[in-house]
């Protein structure tokens, strides 16, 4: 007896997707909240640039204003401390970098974190056109009876 027929591949495929699955858009209207005032000093210029960059990034629409903003404020303070550590204290700088890396995971700020959260950034028209052109390219057929190794040569 041959046994039961194979299952349809669509029914065998895993369907458990994470609840965070999202396609992120590059153009959005999210406005960055202002960084809180600091009593002791102004924000470092690199921290200000980082703050503007994350709120202009495709991940910004995924941030919850009520809860995520507080975590991002703490992350901004870590970034600021990182840039202010003097070069003669590399251990402190390494500890801050490690903590920044851990905290950034929560917000999908690296390609690996976005992959883990199943966030995809929407492809632009230019990227889609390049993909269509690449798929449309055809390989020239080799004439029957010709040796394809004839085009090989030794580089000198």
- Summarised one tens digit per residue, pLDDT across range 43-96 is 999 999 999 999 999 999 999 888 899 999 999 999 999 999 998 999 999 999
CA dihedral defined by 95, 97, 99, 102, rounded to 10 degrees? -140
Answer whether residue 11 is part of any domain: no
pLDDT of residue 154: 78
Average pLDDT over the chain, rounded to an integer: 85
Q: Is 19 domain-assigned?
A: no
Residue 141 lies in a domain: no
Q: What is the pLDDT of residue 86?
A: 93
In a domain, 145, yes or no: no
Q: How far apart are CA 58 and CA 109, in angstroms?
A: 10
**Cβ–Cβ under 8 Å, residues 32 and 55:** yes
Q: Per the domain annotation, does 75 fall within a domain?
A: yes
pLDDT (0 to 100) of residue 13: 67
Domain that residue 66 falls in: 42-120
- pLDDT score at 144: 72
The region of weakest confidence among 18-22, 36-40, 98-102, 105-109 is: 18-22
pLDDT at 124 over 80: no
- What are residue 119's DSSP bridge partners? 22
**pLDDT value at residue 3:** 87
Number of domains in the chain: 1
- Domain for residue 32, yes or no? no
């Amino acid at each position: 007896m041959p046994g039961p027929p194979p299952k349809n591949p669509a029914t065998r495929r895993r369907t458990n997707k994470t609840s965070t699955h999202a396609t992120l858009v590059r153009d959005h209207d999210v406005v960055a909240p202002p960084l809180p005032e600091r009593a002791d000093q102004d924000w470092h210029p690199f921290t200000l640039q980082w703050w503007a960059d994350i709120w202009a990034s495709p991940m910004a629409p995924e941030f919850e204003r009520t809860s995520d903003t507080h975590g991002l404020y703490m992350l901004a303070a870590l970034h600021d401390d990182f840039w202010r550590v003097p070069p003669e204290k590399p251990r402190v700088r390494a500890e801050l970098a490690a903590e920044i890396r851990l905290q950034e995971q929560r917000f999908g700020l690296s390609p690996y974190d976005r992959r883990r959260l199943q966030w995809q950034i929407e492809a632009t028209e230019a990227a889609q056109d390049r993909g269509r052109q690449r798929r449309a390219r055809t390989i020239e057929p080799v004439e029957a009876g010709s040796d394809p190794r004839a085009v090989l040569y030794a580089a000198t």
